[in-house]
Amino acid sequence: MARTALVTGGTRGIGAAISRGLKAAGFQVAANYAGNDEKAAAFKAETGIEVFKFDVGDHDACAAGIKAVEEALGPVDVLVNNAGITRDGWFHKMDAAQWSAVIRTNLDSMFFVTRPVIDGMRARGFGRIVNISSINGQKGQIGQVNYSAAKAGVIGFTKALALENARKGITVNCICPGYIDTDMVAAVPEKVLEGIIATIPAGRLGKAEEIASMVAYLASEDAAFVTGAVMTVNGGQYIANA
């Protein structure tokens, strides 16, 4: 029987590519989404992947949503914490709502989504958790103090959780994408985008499928000895030691 994978933010952008990639790798996939029912329905119709609506920044909604996933598809063996938002602005102009929204969705969600599945993974002696951080969680970014703080927190969360669960057959790893060719990046003004690409040694934006391929590897049996790792996928834009 195919293992079940849950991808948060799994119907659009990088998340959609991850969902497709895991399905192609033989997993039963549940794609979570937050609010765009029309796009989620179109994604389900196109891919045949089941979609589940719940807010990853809401503790109770996550508990109910994951229960629905497991009732429909079985226990979650692979979890990809991908959902994230931005509320950009200079810190000296940032308000509490901008700060809290990003921390809740990008960092609190690590607990809200992972906690309901970790006991089952430990009991079964198998689990794959892949957390999507960001290049800006490694190096920081002007106008993204909230986002950079949350994504840096994801890296710390990954390393500690990996240590706690390695003997239980559970791997926990992190991917830090650079600038990826998604709708969000495409919305950046052309001149700004040209400036960004000029700082990438590879000379181009990344592809969502390149992130998805890394996720598929980390979710596989072949990656059983890889845990606590931080994978930088950014075309050489930022080369990190950890």
Catalytic residue IDs: 147
**Residue in the structure block whose two tokens are 């950046």:** 188
Are 233 and 175 a contacting pair, CB within 8 Å?
yes
Instruction: Name the H helices within the chain.
Output: 13-24, 37-47, 59-73, 96-103, 109-124, 135-139, 145-165, 183-186, 190-198, 208-219
CA–CA separation, 172 vs 46, rounded Å?
A: 30
Smallest CA-to-CA distance from 139 within 179, 169, 87 is with 179
CB atoms within 10 A of CB 140: 14
Are 81 and 113 a contacting pair, CB within 8 Å?
yes
**Residue in the structure block whose two tokens are 């590879």:** 202
Distance of CA 97 to the CA centre of its chain: 22
Helix (H, G, I), strand (E, B) or coil at 105: helix
Helix (H, G, I), strand (E, B) or coil at 181: coil
